[in-house]
Structure 1
Amino acid sequence: MTRTSFGKTQPDASLEAMQGGLGEPIYQSQRIFRSLMDAMACPGTIKPVATDARPPFPMFPLTAAVLATMADADTPVWLDGTMKDNGALKDWLTFHVGAPLADEPDVATFAVLSGKRDMPPLESFAKGLQDYPDRSATLLIQVERLGNKPDWSLSGPGIKDTQLLTVSQLSPLFVAQWQENHKLFPRGVDVVFIAPDAIVCLPRTTAITLGHPASSDKQDH
């Protein structure tokens, strides 16, 4: 179906929303789910992940693929910045993911954030209850690059000694906010950093120390 504007035929918005979903969705979702579980079990480990999803800008294809894998009709999704006002993106998510869009961050099961300076504080999101810590949010934070330079030293369950990590284009307030989030355990949010071609998981059990501890002999990779 098309509509006409100034004598030109344009694609109907509903048809545009139907395009760009996961190719072979069952196989691709299973593969992405395994990558996410492996990354959550090994915090700070960079996991390359490929997808053919094509959501509207500014959502990364890989972010859209993670949502299509993890979210459903019972998991509200909150979008920050320009994403929340992007009608084409919201239509795409409604068609391909089927999750309701949350108006407020504290009711979301998943939230998609730009990692830049103006990202909302972590305390804005659901942190779960002491008896039900699973009632918390998972934040999908889009970043420019992921690497293993010694900007951060991670420690905690799933990490032998320390794991080095650098996250490019991230709010300078994140580390202080994460340290407060870590203190809330078993409550707190979990984070998935998403670069254009890879993910890193940061469960609430993981501690961040700035820099590379002098006592560690772990090498960059």
Structure 2
Amino acid sequence: MTDALLKPGFSQPVGDAQQAFRVLLKVMSEPGVIRSLQQAQGIDHLAPAGMTALLALCDQTTPVWLAPVFNTAAIRTNLNFHAGAPLASDAQQADFVLSVPGELPPLEQLKAGEPEYPDRSCTLVVQLEQLGNAPVGDALVELELSGPGISGRRRLCVSDMGADLLSYLTERPHPFPLGLDLILVSGERVTAIPRTTDVEVI
């Protein structure tokens, strides 16, 4: 049964993992920049960019919480086999949360780090229907980003992120350097909004 659920991970484990990690570093250091991320194939409802991000970032020490839409036998099996990542039954204990906007756990309950160890925080990987730097279609939210890694301001257009996530990004309830980092994926596209980024809805 398990063998039947297994899908290929990285075809070249070292090279693909390094390439994917470089892409993720790029989008984290330049918020709102969109890049292709497709070294691993999608599984069930999980897009290639989302699966690739998890395989590049997760290992045996990083518990992952899966939203119901992603909590399938195939996704659980492949995350465990290819990354060794343990599954967290409680989102409060997770280092990574994989979700869609409508199934996010309460964000204020996730790990935001500690003053001495701000890196001990949760990273959100949220899959969206659409992701771009220019509006396409009618149902997009336009965000204006500013802060480190952005010269001036950068526009990001996304499909509905949900009120809770949007409120978190614009209000930033955790005092810096605490907070949650956000990776957004859609199909084979990825971008990031780290905790250092100021976000406005335009």
TM-score by length of 1: 0.83
Is 1:202 the counterpart of 2:185 in the alignment? Answer: no
**Aligned position for 2:83:** 97
Is 2:32 the partner of 1:44? yes
Whether 1:148 aligns to 2:133 is yes
Instruction: State whether residues 17 and 95 of structure 1, in contact with CA within 8 Å, keep that contact through their aligned partners in structure 2.
Output: no
Task: Look up the equivalent residue of 1:68 and give its one-letter code.
Answer: L
Higher fraction of strand: 1
What is the Cα deviation at residue 140 of structure 1? Answer: 0.5
Matched, 1:15 2:15: no
Bigger shift: residues 89-98 or 189-198: 89-98
Shift of 1:48: 1.8
Equivalent-residue separation in structure 2 for 1:182 and 1:201 (angstroms): 19
Give the match for residue 164 of structure 2: 173
Alpha-carbon distance between aligned partners in 2 of 1:103 and 1:158, rounded to the nearest angstrom: 35
- 1:185 to 2:173 alignment: no
Whole-Å Cα distance in 2 between the matches of residues 193 and 36 of structure 1? 11
2:21 equivalent among 13, 33, 52:
33
Contact 1:81 1:114 in 2 (8 A): no
1:44-80 Cα offsets, whole Å, 9 max, x none, are: 111122224243x122222111111110000111101
Given that 1:18 and 1:96 are in contact with CA atoms closer than 8 Å, whether structure 2 keeps it comes out as no
Q: CA deviation at 1:174?
A: 2.1
The aligned counterpart of 1:137 is 122
Identical aligned residues as a percent: 33
**Cα deviation digits, residues 118-143 of structure 1 (max 9, x gap):** 43332231101111111101111011
Measure the CA separation in 2 of the matches of 1:16 and 1:111.
26
Q: Name the residue aligned to 1:82.
A: 69
Matches within 5 A, 1:150-165: 151-165=142-156
C-alpha separation between the residues in 2 aligned to 1:182 and 1:32? 30
Q: Secondary structure of 1:149's match?
A: coil
The CA deviation at 1:176 is 1.2
1:61 and 2:48 correspond: yes
Partner deviation per Cα, 1:20-63 (whole Å, 9 max, x = no partner): 222112111111100010111100111122224243x1222221
Letter in 2 for 1:190: D
Unaligned regions of 5+ residues in structure 1, if any? 1-12, 212-221
Deviates more, 1:20-29 or 1:179-188: 179-188
Distance 2:132 2:198 in 1: 18
Whether contact under 8 Å (1:182, 1:207) holds in the other structure is no
State the SS of the aligned residue for 2:88.
coil
Tell me if the contact between 2:59 and 2:84 (Cα under 8 Å) persists in the aligned partners: yes
> Residue 128 of structure 1 corresponds to which residue in structure 2?
113
**Which whole-Å CA distance do the structure 2 matches of 1:171 and 1:77 have between them?**
21
Give the 3 Å change call, closer, same or farther, for CA 74–118 of structure 1 in structure 2. closer
Deviation at 1:183, TM superposition (A): 4.8
In structure 2, runs of 5+ residues without a counterpart are: 136-141
Q: Name the structure 1 match of 2:138.
A: none
Moved over 3 A (4+): none
Farther off after superposition, 173-182 or 156-165: 173-182
Count of matched residue pairs: 196
Q: C-alpha separation between the residues in 1 aligned to 2:96 and 2:164?
A: 21
| Larger Rg, first or second structure (1 or 2) | 1
In structure 2, how many angstroms separate the alpha carbons of the residues matched to 1:16 and 1:61?
19
- Are 2:129 and 2:159, in contact at CA under 8 Å, matched by a contact in 1? yes
